[in-house]
């Protein structure tokens, strides 16, 4: 397996997350102090609460992707160990943050770090996430959101990019959702419209896929020269 990871981007966003998180705490503390020292500024704590909460949440959002262990990029790398050099993993280089080029096609991977129980409701066409405390949902873990829509958007961005680069020779891009937290349980996942996997199953899944049109060696080499 060949891996191309944008380490500079990871380090940059890790620094930004720490700065924003610290700034958010300082803003919240300043509002608290003002409420005691300057009671006549009665509206200030309200604005500092909003600003501090927003800064902290953006910092947490970035930290979950670029700081928090195990980082999604490292989990994906480890889960693909043992694959040969026909498999190429691009991380934070292309429009899809994690893209895998294989003999069976191209995959845009959307990693999710949440733990607990994830259940697919086929009638409502969305996931239900449970088994996580309210405290962690508010302060330690962002909501699951809508992974299907996110994954499809990632695949569409990568497909648009490849179409621009290769024209009619561009193969299709397949979306995959991969949960990187080992403490995750699935219910009714086989009914989802796109594959949803635990990270430990990614290697086996890629191996089992039948060969499909994909990039040839020269096209992959051109991508490497441009974006690695």
Between 47-56, 118-127, 210-219, the lowest mean confidence (pLDDT) is in: 210-219
Exposed / middle / buried, residue 204 (Cβ in 10 Å: 0-12, 13-18, 19+): exposed
Is residue 84 helix, strand or coil?
coil
Whether the per-residue pLDDT at 140 is higher than 80: the answer is no
Whether the per-residue pLDDT at 16 is higher than 60: the answer is yes
Residues 48, 34 contacting (CB under 8 angstroms): yes
In angstroms, what CA-CA distances link 168 with 156, 171, 215?
Answer: 15, 8, 12
Q: Which uninterrupted H or E stretch holds 9? A: helix 7-37
Domain boundaries, the chain: 2-66, 72-227
Residue 39 pLDDT:
77
CA distance 152 to 23: 34
Beta-ladder partners of 142: none
Whether the per-residue pLDDT at 228 is higher than 70: the answer is no
Considering the entire predicted model, what is its pTM? 0.86
Whether the per-residue pLDDT at 220 is higher than 70: the answer is yes
The predicted model gives 161-170 an average pLDDT of 86
Residues 109, 94 contacting (CB under 8 angstroms): no
| Max Cα distance, the chain (Å) | 70
Whether the per-residue pLDDT at 141 is higher than 70: the answer is no
CA distance 130 to 72: 21
CA distance 183 to 114: 8
């Amino acid at each position: 397996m060949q891996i191309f990871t944008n380490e500079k981007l990871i380090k940059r966003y890790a620094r930004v997350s720490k700065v924003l998180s610290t700034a958010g705490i300082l803003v919240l503390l300043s509002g608290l102090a003002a409420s005691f020292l300057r009671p006549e500024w009665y509206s200030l704590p309200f604005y500092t609460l909003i600003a501090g909460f927003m800064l902290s949440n953006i910092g947490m959002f970035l930290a979950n992707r670029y700081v928090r262990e195990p980082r999604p990029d490292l989990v994906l790398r480890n889960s693909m160990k043992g694959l040969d050099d026909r498999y190429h993993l691009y991380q934070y280089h292309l429009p899809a943050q994690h893209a895998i080029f294989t003999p069976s096609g191209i995959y845009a991977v959307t990693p999710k770090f949440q733990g607990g129980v994830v259940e697919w409701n086929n009638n409502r066409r969305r996931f239900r996430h449970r088994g996580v405390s309210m405290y962690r949902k508010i302060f330690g873990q962002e909501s699951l959101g809508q992974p299907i829509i996110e994954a499809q958007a990632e695949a569409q961005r990568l497909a648009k990019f490849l179409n621009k680069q290769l024209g009619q020779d561009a193969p299709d891009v397949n979306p995959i959702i991969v949960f990187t937290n080992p403490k995750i349980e699935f219910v009714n996942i086989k009914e989802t419209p796109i594959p949803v996997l635990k990270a430990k199953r990614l290697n086996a899944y890629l191996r089992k896929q039948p060969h499909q049109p994909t990039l040839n060696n020269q096209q992959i080499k051109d991508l490497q020269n441009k974006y690695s």
